[in-house]
Every structure is written in structure tokens, then in C-alpha cells.
Structure 1
Amino acid sequence: MLMKFVVRNSCLVQPAEPTWSGSMPLSELDQIGVFGHTPTIYYYRPPQDWAAPPRRIFETLRSSLSKALVIFYPLAGRLRWLPGSRLELDCNGVGVQLTEVECAATLDDIRDSDPPEYSHLVPQVNYSTPLPEIPILLVQITKFRCGGVSLSWNVSHVAVDGTSNLHFLSEWAALARGAPTGPPPVLDRRFLRAGERPAASGRRSEFVHDTFDPQPVVIGEINDAGERGKETTVALLKLTAAQVEDLKREANRSRVDGGSAAVKRPYTKYESIVAHMWQCACKARRHAAAQPTAVRICVNVRKHVRRLPPPPRKYFGNAIVDVFAKGRSGEITAAPLGHAAARVREAIDMVTEDYVESMIDYLKGMKDFSQLQDIKAPGTNGGTFYGNPNLRVTSWLGLPLHGLDFGWGKEISMGPGGDDCDGNSLVISGGDGDGDGSVMVGLCLQVACMEDFKKLFYEDLPLNSRL
């Protein structure tokens, strides 16, 4: 179905009041993240009492965004390069890009399209533009013939991680609907030692940081070039609450770890789901038994670092580190689910306060960051490759994703705004945030592997929860 999209308005939104200006040092954990922007999209149906004219919707968003940028002023700035391929944030108040688009289709037309029309629904970033001219945040409101809307944004992962992004969005939504705002963000990035020198290593030197080592490639290949160029597709798969609980039960029933009591604590639903995805991916890709494979896992370190008050949960920046669960495909697929879950648990449990401090020191000693940065513009073949024989599984479980109300009610659905890189995946709470316990898995795989993966994803569930 051919859908016509028309841009009705586009502007830069600046803070409503003067804000601090100057160079803000970025932490080492900001420097090593994905260089590109991360897209997210929310869909809203018009409520029965929908009375706001189309123009007022845009004006409400623009006015409230301007107020939100007074609190979250780094988002109105720009990034710039420093020697050694490092980055810093120029808090100059240039502004956030806000675009208004109209579409002749209905909301159901868009949501039922396969694949969804993400390229038109999400604001696009022109990475050929010099970095100091690229907005850190771009927002798009799309209005449909039925009266429904989608609200999407693309935010630089150098500036914020998912936790920080959602803090900003919840406060912006509160301002839009006239509600009071909550605790302000912690903007001081010295929480993660931005701009400081390396500390004395002490016991932290015991850690080996192999996160930045080359990852496994398919046996018989010297690099990932062959796999990187293969056609991919995206799927969104749902696990019911019962299926999630059955996976957890199976992972814990078949656990193979021993030793400390800490290791023996029950596997979480995330660890169990990742283990299941790992097994399914290895099978769908038809790996040789000896094939090395890894799963890249993002871990939030806010609870591990207690360096500065106020509470670090409101720290605004990147506070995540990546770790790898590793194995060989033969053992991952042949062993019970608890074996793969144990590998995932071992990787996550590496992340302690000492580990984080050690990683920061390690990164502070780097002379050139160019080999560590995941520089990938969406739709390109650049950046770190997480595809065959590997996976990257990001968790949005536990994040306040649902119930984002800008004054026209809560969303009917939300999700990532598309990803076309083999191996990238996202685990997100299902339903509408009402605690129904379901989970959605968004996954990009090679076309040749996707149908097998989807079949295995359900057929390999514990017997009593298969569809």
C-alpha cells in the first residue's frame, strides 16, 4: 500500500529560558556507546472527547518541549569531536528538531503494514552533516486520517541511555498535560568521572576487559564482511506471562551451576529469555557444533556506583556497560536451558562497582577511541556487527515505557522505531504496562534464518506452554 506523507511544519525548539552554556565533558561510558541515534515510536488513538485541533497539538508539544529543555538543557546542545576521537557536549541551546507530518492513511493501515513504515514515521538523521550541526534529539508528530497520531523521536546514544531518555520523556509528558514534574536529573557527569584522570588501579587491575576484543566470526571466514552484507528482516514476537514463567521454571529446573549461594539465586525472566533466544539463534543459523558464539548484554551500572549524591538513579547520561556471554553452539543447543542461562548470569555478575571503576580506568588510558566507538548510521553497513554467529540483546524490562500521556491519553502501543542490523534484539514488557507479565521480543536476523528462528522460538518452549 502506497502511503503519502506530507511535512507540514518543522522547527528548532530551544529552551524557554536561558540555560547554562559551555563544554560538558562526557564520561568514558558515553564515549564507547552507539554513535548513532536510537529511534522509538508511540501510537495514540483519538479519545472520544478529542477536541484539540491539529494545530494545537503541535503547539502544545512545542511549548512543553521548550519548558522541558530548561531542565534537560544538554539535549538542546550539540556534540563535537576532540583529539583522539573523543567527544564532548557543547551546551549551546541550539535546539531540538520538531517536525509535524500528515499521512492520508489510517493508524491501522500503518500498524498493520509489513514492515511498518518506520522510515516515514521516525525523524531521520542526516549523518553526512557535520557533527556540530546534527541535533542530539529529533522529534516527529504524525497525524493520520482517522485522527490518531504517532509520536516518535531519535535521540543520540552518546548523550543518553534508555533510562535517561525515559526520565526526560516522562517529565516532558507531564509538562504537556499540565502536571507537576518530578525530581530533576543529575546532570553532573563526574558521577562517572567525566573529565577526571585515571585513579590508582589497586585491586581493580585484576579485571580483564575483553569487551573490546574482536568477536567470533563464522568458522572458515576471516572477518564478518560476508555475513554483514546479507539481507535481513525484523520480527516482533510475543511471550505470554505463562510462557515467560515456564521458561524461568525450565531454566531453574535444569540449572547446572554450583558453588556460591549468590550464583544459586533463581534465574530472572531476562536471563531465561536470553538463554532461549541464544539456543534458537544457534539452531536457526545451522552452526557447526564447534562454532564460537557470543551474546552481548547491556548492564545498567547505576546501582553499582555510589560515588556522589543525590541518588544516581536520576543520573542523566550513559550508565551502561556491555559484557559477553560466550560458548560454542554445540554446547549451547545440546545442553538444557539452564546451561545457557548460567553463561548469561556469569557475564552479568561480572559487573560490580570495582569492575565499573576498572573499566573507566582502562578507558581513560586509551589514546584513541576510534576503534571502540560503534559508529553506525541507521540504514548503513557500518558500526559494530552483532550478527551471525552472535547476538546483542538489550533489555527494556523494568523501564517505565508505558502510560506516556501528553494530554491525549495513554498510548495504544509502542516499540523501537526499526533496526536493520543482524543480531540486534530488544526485550520489552508486553501489554500496555498494566502488569500482565507478557514480554515482546524485537529481533533482526538474516532473511534466511528468520522463519526457522520464529518456528523454534515457540516450538522449543517448555511443553506445557507451546502454542
Structure 2
Amino acid sequence: MAQAHSPLIFTVRRNPPELIVPAKPTPRELKPLSDIDDQEGFRFHLPVIHIYQQNPKMGNKNPASVIREALAKVLVFYYPFAGRLKEGPGRKLTVDCSGQGVLFIEAEADVTLKEFGAEIRPPFPCRDELLYNVPGSDGILNSPLLLIQVTRLLCGGFILVVRLNHTMCDAYGYTQFMTALSEITNGASTPTTLPVWQRELLCARDPPRVTCTHREYDEVPDNHGAIISPDDMEQRSFFFGPTQISAMRRFVPTILKRCSTFEVLTACLWRCRTIALQPNSEDEMRMMIIVNARSKFNPPIPVGYYGNVFAYPAAISKVRDLCNKPLGHALELVMRAKTEVTEEYMKSVADLMVIKGRPGFTNVGSYIVSDVTRNGFLELDFGWGKAVYAGPDFHVAGFFTRYINQRGESGIMVPIWLPSIAMKRFVKELDNLLGPHNKDHVIPEYVNALSKL
């Protein structure tokens, strides 16, 4: 279930970074972001990795050239991505649609896809080589909003990594943009779904008024060192297929049987991770669940809107309760937190941002999870077929991505970041939870992982 990677070292040769501008003239204007978009917690760059195998039908076509040409065309429709962010009074962010362009890097690596292992999943070797951080490009203000690197492999496959400024869009909006890009690489002249800006739909009311409880923005002192240091961190990937999910559901009380796969998996990870970290028993732990709120609005958010439309309500529990009570305790809290998100909740978040100066979410004792299994990352086809792996690569949040393993089973892949000593405890706790009846399917990989710690 957990995969330990043997070292793989390869060399990447990059062409100089270039700026790709829209293929046609675009409006020069200022477009304010919404008050959901520009909160502190979204002011970072999120990398997303897409890996493709060789396709004989594409002949000698260069994927970098194909994507570069399509990118210029898609930016005609999504021209704000070619602009730069400016900050005004009250830390309000606005896109200066200057047409300066997005960063693009063409590269090639002296490695084949097969060398990445039988199952291609994070953590990936040489990540910094697959996404070169162009000096001066990673600021939030006055910096490119997208950086794209296409790295060709010796086998004819390629790795596409996209780094986006999260204030511009969420996973849903990102998929919409990338779908448009894929459609144009395949010959379309116009995206099937046209982009909609209308960020005013998620701006604060006048006057702003906080009408809901937002524990995700609590100001909590770090009295016991609950914020995890990035030093000595270890990343491993865990696959949860039908067998593992069934094993977890054994612990679901009858009253909560209606829970979704996402909810039961989230509760299990929250509990196992807390036990692994061994925090103070009286501390509070927060599980923040990304909830797409598009369906909560009436009238609905327009089709084509690609801004951020999600909240992350917090399920909160004392450490002693989370570790000692049955799984149903964590599960009930997770399910309850998800139901908090309504149209009014989103409006209340926007108002809170204006009143409190756009605060970030609480770091102390917090773990954020996001379900992107339905976002269609694997289906994005730039002419080489579906991806063999696709998902965000960011350690602050646990992204649940769809994954098909060697056996052909469709399940959920979850990358976990923990201090090395805590990772060993996490693996052991998860092993105990899944139980001996999973021995043939799970234990061998666990033993392999533990032996390399």
C-alpha cells in the first residue's frame, strides 16, 4: 500500500524559459479577484503533475511544441492568466491584464518512464528538475501566474508540470482551463466551455457581516510545537482500493453507514496521522475539508466560472478523543463539517476576509484534505492519450487523486507528508486499522516500506 522508492537520478536539459503571450490581441483592463480568491491561504503557487506515455500515432511530434502553440491560442480566451497581480488598499488583489504572458520551459531528460517504477506515483525523483523555479518567478505580485514545463523522455513519453497561482482558480477551474488547452491541441478553434470571470459573485456584501462560525480561521497559539517543521519530512503514497475501503467500513457505526468513501477515508487518515504525530493529549486537532460550493448557490454559479468556489470547514477534536474513541467519533465530525458549507457560509467567508484583512487558515494542529478524484485529471488528452498519472504535488494538503494500480483496480491515491519518525508510526497504525485479512493485498508492500525506514 505504501511505496518506497529506490533512488533514481537523471539529468534534465532545459531550453531557456520563454514567455508565451496570447496569439491575438486581448483586452487591456483591470479585473479584481473575488474576496474568496485573494485570502492569505490561497496566495501560493500549486504544482500539478501530468505524466504521459509514448504514443506511436503521434509519430515524431514534439509535445512541447504542440502544447506551446495551443497555449498561445487558449490564452486568447483565458487572457487574465497572461497578466500580473497587483495589490491595492485592504490587500485587495486585481489582475492587470497586461498580456505579458506565462512562463514556458521545454526540456528533455535522459530517462524512460519505465525507470520510474512499475507503478508511477509520488514522491517523484528530481522534482526540482521537472519544474524549474525560474528565478524571480515565484512571487504572488507582479509575477507570471502560470509556469509550465514539458519534459520529453527517452521513451517518447513526457511529463507536463503546471505551476499556477492559486488565487486565480481552484481545481475545478484548473481542469476547465486544461481541458480547453487539450481541446485546442486536438484541433479545436474554440473551447467547448467558454471562461466566465464574474468574480463579483463571490465578493463581500456591503456592509460585510459574518453570519457563520469559521473555526478554520481561529487564531491559535502554538504552545506545544504543533506546527510541523518542513525539515526532516518524508513523503509516501498510499493506495486505497476497494479492499482497503471495505476494511475501513468495518468500523463505521450503523448510524453513519451513509458516509461516503471520501468521508470514511478522511476520518481514518485524521486518526492515524494524529496518533503518529503524538501531540499533547489536550490539544485540539483540525481536519479541514475542501468543499466545492458550486452546487450550493441559487441561482447557480455560471458554467465556465473558473475562480475559487470552495471553503474548508474544520472538524475539531481533542487529541485524546481522536486517538482513544472509536472511528465513528472522527467520522461524525467530518460529516458534520462538510454540511456546514452553504451559499450563506461562502458569503460569510467573503465578508470575514474584508473585516479581518484576508487572514490565512489556522496552521496549528491542522490537516487539509481535498478530493480531486472527480476532476478528470487523468482524462486530459493532449494527443498522446490519457495520463498514466495526474495530480497536485503540494505537501500542505492531502490531495485524494484517482489512480489505477498494476492490478487494474481503480482507487484513491493519497500522498502523505510526515516527519520520518512519525511516518513509521503512521504506517503501523494504518496497518493495524486495515487488519490481517488484507494480508495478501496490503501487508507485503507495508513490510517493504518499513524495511527501508
TM-score, normalised to structure 2, is: 0.86
2:131 maps to which residue?
122
Deviation sequence 1:50-78 (CA, Å, 0-9, x none): 41243xx3222111111111111111111
Aligned to 1:198, which of 206, 210, 218? 206
SS of residue paired to 1:360 = helix
Q: Cα distance 1:175–1:115, how it changes in 2: closer, same or farther (>3 A)? A: closer
1:24 maps to which residue?
31
1:183 maps to which residue?
193
Residues of 2 paired with 1:70 and 1:245: CA distance?
A: 47
SS of residue paired to 1:94 = coil
SS of residue paired to 1:154 = strand
Residues of 2 paired with 1:184 and 1:69: CA distance?
A: 12
1:242 maps to which residue?
243
Q: Cα distance 1:128–1:182, how it changes in 2: closer, same or farther (>3 A)? A: closer
* Paired residues for 1:31-430 under 5 Å: 31-32=38-39, 33-54=41-62, 57-110=63-116, 115-124=124-133, 126=135, 131-179=140-188, 181-193=191-203, 197-199=205-207, 201=209, 206-215=211-220, 217=222, 221=224, 224=226, 227-228=228-229, 230-248=231-249, 250-253=251-254, 255=256, 266-307=258-299, 311-366=301-356, 368-369=357-358, 372-373=359-360, 385=363, 389-419=365-395, 421=396, 424-430=397-403
- Confirm or deny: 8 A CA contact 1:305 1:353 kept in the other structure: yes
- Confirm or deny: 8 A CA contact 1:271 1:341 kept in the other structure: yes
Q: Cα distance 1:335–1:197, how it changes in 2: closer, same or farther (>3 A)? A: closer
1:262 maps to which residue?
none
Q: Cα distance 1:212–1:167, how it changes in 2: closer, same or farther (>3 A)? A: same
- Confirm or deny: 8 A CA contact 1:303 1:312 kept in the other structure: no
Structure 1 residue 436 displacement after superposition: 4.9
Question: Is there any run of 5+ residues in structure 1 with no aligned partner, and where?
Answer: 256-264, 375-383
Q: Cα distance 1:69–1:215, how it changes in 2: closer, same or farther (>3 A)? A: same
SS of residue paired to 1:330 = helix
- Confirm or deny: 8 A CA contact 2:25 2:76 kept in the other structure: yes
- Confirm or deny: 8 A CA contact 2:217 2:360 kept in the other structure: no
Q: Cα distance 1:214–1:230, how it changes in 2: closer, same or farther (>3 A)? A: farther
Structure 1 residue 253 displacement after superposition: 3.3
Residues of 1 paired with 2:186 and 2:208: CA distance?
A: 49
Residues of 2 paired with 1:426 and 1:198: CA distance?
A: 35
Deviation sequence 1:110-152 (CA, Å, 0-9, x none): 4579652211112425457765541101111001122221111
SS of residue paired to 2:114 = helix
SS of residue paired to 1:312 = coil
The farther-off stretch of 94-103 and 396-405 is 396-405
- Confirm or deny: 8 A CA contact 2:109 2:153 kept in the other structure: yes
Question: Is there any run of 5+ residues in structure 2 with no aligned partner, and where?
Answer: 1-7, 443-453
Residues of 2 paired with 1:350 and 1:214: CA distance?
A: 20
Structure 1 residue 241 displacement after superposition: 1.9
Q: Cα distance 1:25–1:285, how it changes in 2: closer, same or farther (>3 A)? A: same
Structure 1 residue 249 displacement after superposition: 5.4
Number of aligned pairs? 427
SS of residue paired to 2:290 = strand
1:380 maps to which residue?
none
**AA in 2 matched with 1:234:** Q
- Confirm or deny: 8 A CA contact 1:427 1:440 kept in the other structure: yes
SS of residue paired to 1:20 = coil
SS of residue paired to 2:434 = coil
Structure 1 residue 87 displacement after superposition: 1.5
Residues of 2 paired with 1:268 and 1:402: CA distance?
A: 22
The farther-off stretch of 457-466 and 5-14 is 457-466
Residues of 1 paired with 2:176 and 2:32: CA distance?
A: 21
Residues of 2 paired with 1:465 and 1:8: CA distance?
A: 48
Q: Cα distance 1:177–1:189, how it changes in 2: closer, same or farther (>3 A)? A: same
**AA in 1 matched with 2:389:** S
**AA in 2 matched with 1:349:** T
Structure 1 residue 173 displacement after superposition: 0.5
Residues of 2 paired with 1:446 and 1:246: CA distance?
A: 26
- Confirm or deny: 8 A CA contact 2:86 2:95 kept in the other structure: yes
Deviation sequence 1:354-379 (CA, Å, 0-9, x none): 2222222222333x33xx147xxxxx
SS of residue paired to 1:116 = coil
Deviation sequence 1:329-385 (CA, Å, 0-9, x none): 22112222221110011111111122222222222333x33xx147xxxxxxxxx64
- Provide the identity percentage: 26
SS of residue paired to 1:49 = helix
SS of residue paired to 1:150 = strand
Residues of 2 paired with 1:48 and 1:129: CA distance?
A: 36
Structure 1 vs Structure 2 CA RMSD: 2.7
Structure 1 residue 215 displacement after superposition: 4.2
Structure 1 residue 289 displacement after superposition: 3.3
Q: Cα distance 1:406–1:129, how it changes in 2: closer, same or farther (>3 A)? A: closer
- Confirm or deny: 8 A CA contact 2:36 2:308 kept in the other structure: yes
Structure 1 residue 156 displacement after superposition: 0.4
Q: Cα distance 1:103–1:229, how it changes in 2: closer, same or farther (>3 A)? A: closer
Residues of 2 paired with 1:233 and 1:52: CA distance?
A: 39
TM-score, normalised to structure 1, is: 0.84
Structure 1 residue 229 displacement after superposition: 5.4
